[in-house]
């Protein structure tokens, strides 16, 4: 009999040793295989937050809903992470208000807010929409709490947006792991919104190459 323990977020060092001890793996009788979690087909793009983001208007995100939008299938599928359900709710309401008049009647379907407090039926409906691929996808933007950081294997997500930056590096790594998961999926992007002063600090601290994004 073979026992296997898996984790996507355990840190090396004391944390790893303590978990191994607690699950009863004896020294010299187990093999520890640590894989690289970095996504080399995802570009990190850092954007500074130019407008206030604590109210009900989020001007930095206006580009997500083009003013000349004709049909939903013209927009690629995106996943936007927020750190709280309440913040995600305000963003959802704002972005739905930007939809052109002929799409207002499908605002709830076009932009979905997914979080742990959704009712069971809403969760099932949201996950079904998330896995709906191709030109027939009805939902173009998923506003998500950290609940979708792990366990989501959708092949056609092209962009992940973090607004604002996640509170931990492990959350960032998990969120960046969501796009470009299909075998023939082109390179994807992870857009991280940070305050200008934080952006300057992270420029030299984070191991990723900052790129310019016209957002």
56 within 8 A of 94, measured Cβ to Cβ: yes
For 37-205, the fitting CATH number among 3.40.50.300, 3.90.320.10, 3.30.70.1170, 3.40.50.2300 is: 3.40.50.300
Domain assignments of the chain as residue spans, ordered by start: 37-205
In eight-state DSSP terms, residue 48 is: E
Opening angle at CA 157, ends 174 and 110, nearest 5? 115
Average pLDDT (68-78) is 87
- Extract the tokens encoding 49: 């937050």
The predicted structure's pLDDT at residue 182: 66
Which H or E element spans position 86? helix 85-97
Q: How far apart are CA 160 and CA 23, in angstroms?
A: 35
* The pLDDT of residue 211: 46
Cα–Cα distance for residue pair 20/75, rounded to 1 Å: 45
| Whether the Cβ atoms of residue 144 and residue 82 lie closer than 8 Å to each other | yes
pLDDT at 75: 86
What is the per-residue pLDDT across 27-40, written as a single tens digit (0 to 9) for each? 888 888 887 666 67
Q: What is the pLDDT of residue 62?
A: 96
Q: Is the pLDDT of residue 12 over 90?
A: no
Predicted local confidence at residue 2, as pLDDT: 82
- Mean pLDDT over 74-94 rounds to 92
The reported pLDDT for the residue numbered 131 is: 85
Distance CA 7, CA 43 (A): 24
Determine the Cα–Cα distance for residues 122 and 51; give it in Å rounded to an integer: 32
């Amino acid at each position: 009999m073979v026992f296997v323990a898996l984790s996507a977020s355990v840190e090396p060092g004391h944390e790893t040793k303590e978990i191994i001890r607690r699950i009863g793996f004896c020294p010299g009788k187990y093999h520890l295989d640590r894989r690289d979690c970095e996504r080399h087909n995802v570009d990190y793009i850092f954007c500074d937050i130019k407008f206030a983001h604590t109210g009900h208007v989020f001007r930095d995100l206006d580009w997500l809903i083009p003013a000349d939008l004709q049909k939903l299938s013209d927009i690629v599928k995106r996943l936007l992470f927020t750190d709280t359900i309440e913040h995600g709710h305000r963003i959802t309401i704002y972005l739905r208000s930007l939809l052109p008049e002929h799409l207002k009647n499908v605002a709830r379907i076009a932009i979905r807010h997914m979080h742990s407090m959704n009712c069971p039926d809403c969760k099932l409906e949201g996950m079904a929409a998330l896995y709906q691929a191709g030109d027939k996808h009805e939902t173009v933007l998923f506003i998500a709490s950290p609940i979708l950081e792990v366990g989501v294997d959708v092949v056609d997500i092209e962009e992940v947006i973090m607004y604002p930056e996640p509170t931990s590096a492990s959350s960032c790594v998990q969120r960046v792991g969501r796009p470009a998961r299909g075998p023939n999926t082109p390179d994807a992007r992870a857009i991280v919104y940070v305050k200008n002063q934080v952006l300057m600090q992270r420029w030299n601290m984070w191991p990723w190459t900052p790129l310019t994004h016209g957002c």
